Structure 1
């Protein structure tokens, strides 16, 4: 059976559910992992190399500054995989004998391809958002990506928007595939919906603009005392959201839960009628890929109200499985929330269509088989 080595940031990062799913399930668990650090959270045990634990020697101390200067002159990122780290990675691969490498996140993929792309193993990378938007605005990162693409066997994207964004910078790979991360549609299922219940899920960060969601709901829901908004997630914009709720006097209708265990998120999603998210491109260029929270909301039969941002339109058929407005169209966003509150939106009908779409297109067990097929085709070549 094919064996995959997955390169990623952490073993395991609690928020990188899609990466953990690959480590756990790809090729029926026939996987190993090469990671930068190790976290306390682990859903499964696999053979792994932790790069932060590799001992560096005198060679690294001497050669490191030379590589840094050389990369600067070539307009590449300051450091790359070299010396003791490269040797440890190659030793790990020799020991585990994977047939193919899958790098989760493009930034890791280009580093790995640059460092060991000449070793005969097929190398693929998966772009998921930040790596294909904000990072590629750097000329150095574009230069490295251009070099690395020549050494990669193939590239995956969670949305066609990310593929197009790289192409805009002249970064294209002939073996490219668009597969969203997906969701387990047997686990994420609708429950009895609470009337006029709204939910927002995700990190409270600039590209998700939770403050706009909270303010829009507060302004529109004052005349609907039974309407509720549950915001699940922590982050730097939490206090700004709290201040809006206090200012609007909506403490009885809006609850900021901060970060929650996945089981709690699932419970609220299953019961919510409407899912809100006003994603935007941040001033620095950071954008979404295909937000997992929206995929989970669709599977749970929520009516999604969001923005025409990045890969979100790939997930929503407007007027059928959800509703979208342009980024920063606050009047339009509030109007949709008002329509939801007043019953103008046929939530049960939209919820059924959303659920059907998720089952047909977003089941992660089907999607992982499609990824495996691409990887296996490279192994057989």
Structure 2
């Protein structure tokens, strides 16, 4: 099969779930072209980007937001490429047939990206808003290609709050299939008016072989390492992790809380750490590459994901780093938020607590501190659950089945 994979910024270190799908398709003999609307950071890339030479497969659709600049650049693209496929380019400007999609020049910019390409069997858009680029592709370059759109988090939460519940109606009407990465978001899609028969839940997988299981025990020196990983943004709820640790700091002087990630809340979170007088126990480690993160997880004992629904409506699916921690045998604590309850079996692989509830989070952490004998069984249960439901090889096989 020939697949057009439409993504946002590329490459992005944190979006391993997309890289896993692309690599899985290539490994299975399928041809994949990547279309991105913005160049990502190429100074630090995931190993898969180099292994599969993905930048050589990537084409950038950079349409200026300024209308005047867009028009001038579009005119230049039209003249520079008119000899290659004049019929395709003229078709992209047909406002009588395609209306505002042509008038906005969206179709022209898409057409230039498609010049010289064969028609695609599948156009797979990796977030909801990118589905509209996929619609443009199919209109002018791949009329027989099947249009698939994946919904993964902000696109089915924050984006809806910002643009309204009707924003995806044109996409729902024309798309062939919609993939949600958890049951929670499937229910949201149905509520928004998407035909349930067009929706399949395809979870985001991880490579379990890269995350070696270790049975967790209380170390001889009594030091307990707690870790959280994620962008320093509101929906990750890191403030509540810090507050929970502060409540326990005096009773448990040997705890250490490491927060891996970077983002706009870094300064305010450091200020909170200082105000609560826990700078000796809570550390903001900044962004880490995957191997560095694995080493941090390997030296930790408990993972917490205190995610919350942000004021802008943004929510999380089952978090990939949470799966990685479970695969490595860490007991986990998450919140009753988004798709997280589909990953953590409360009382079996860890605990679920209400959002924004530092008291209950501290209570569950305290229980784990007092009962390290439960760590090994929780860790084994978490590993087994991730292997059964989130192994990326099984999920990539399922993706190919869905394409067929």
Alignment TM-score > 0.5, same fold: yes
Contact 1:194 1:271 in 2 (8 A): no
Taking the aligned partners of 2:107 and 2:26, their CA distance within structure 1 comes to 31
Contact 2:111 2:137 in 1 (8 A): no
> Who is 1:134 aligned against?
158
> Who is 2:132 aligned against?
110
Contact 2:216 2:376 in 1 (8 A): no
Contact 1:290 1:315 in 2 (8 A): yes
Are 2:188 and 1:165 aligned? Answer: yes
SS of the equivalent of 2:226 reads strand
Taking the aligned partners of 1:361 and 1:270, their CA distance within structure 2 comes to 22
> Who is 2:15 aligned against?
16
Contact 1:57 1:84 in 2 (8 A): no
* Map 1:9-88 → 2, pairs under 5 A: 9-28=8-27, 30-39=31-40, 40=42, 41=45, 42-43=49-50, 44-46=52-54, 47-52=57-62, 55-57=73-75, 82-88=106-112
Are 2:201 and 1:205 aligned? Answer: no
* Map 1:365-380 → 2, pairs under 5 A: 365-376=393-404
SS of the equivalent of 2:257 reads strand
1:194-218 CA-to-partner distances (Å, cap 9, x unmatched) read 7321100000100112111112112
Of 149, 174, 194, which residue of structure 2 is paired with 1:125? 149
SS of the equivalent of 2:258 reads strand
Q: CA RMSD in A?
A: 2.7
* Bigger shift: residues 240-249 or 176-185: 240-249
Taking the aligned partners of 1:185 and 1:308, their CA distance within structure 2 comes to 25
SS of the equivalent of 2:227 reads strand
* Bigger shift: residues 232-241 or 347-356: 232-241
1:261-286 CA-to-partner distances (Å, cap 9, x unmatched) read 11111111233221112111111111
Taking the aligned partners of 1:330 and 1:221, their CA distance within structure 2 comes to 13
Q: CA deviation at 1:252?
A: 2.6
Are 2:362 and 1:334 aligned? Answer: yes
> Who is 2:67 aligned against?
none
* Map 1:177-192 → 2, pairs under 5 A: 177-191=200-214
Of 273, 297, 300, which residue of structure 1 is paired with 2:325? 297
TM-score (normalised: structure 2)? 0.82
Q: CA deviation at 1:167?
A: 1.9
Q: CA deviation at 1:304?
A: 1.0
Q: CA deviation at 1:184?
A: 0.7
Q: Give the paired residue count.
A: 362
Question: Are residues 98 and 270 of structure 1, via their aligned partners in 2, closer, same or farther at CA, if it must alter by over 3 Å?
Answer: farther
Please list every run of 5 or more consecutive structure 2 residues that lacks an aligned counterpart in the other structure: 65-72, 79-91, 219-223
Larger radius of gyration: 2
Please list every run of 5 or more consecutive structure 1 residues that lacks an aligned counterpart in the other structure: 377-381
Question: Are residues 219 and 81 of structure 1, via their aligned partners in 2, closer, same or farther at CA, if it must alter by over 3 Å?
Answer: farther
Are 2:120 and 1:98 aligned? Answer: yes
TM-score (normalised: structure 1)? 0.87
Q: Which runs of 4+ in 1 moved over 4 A?
A: none
1:133-188 CA-to-partner distances (Å, cap 9, x unmatched) read 11123456x44411112221111111111111122222334221112211111111
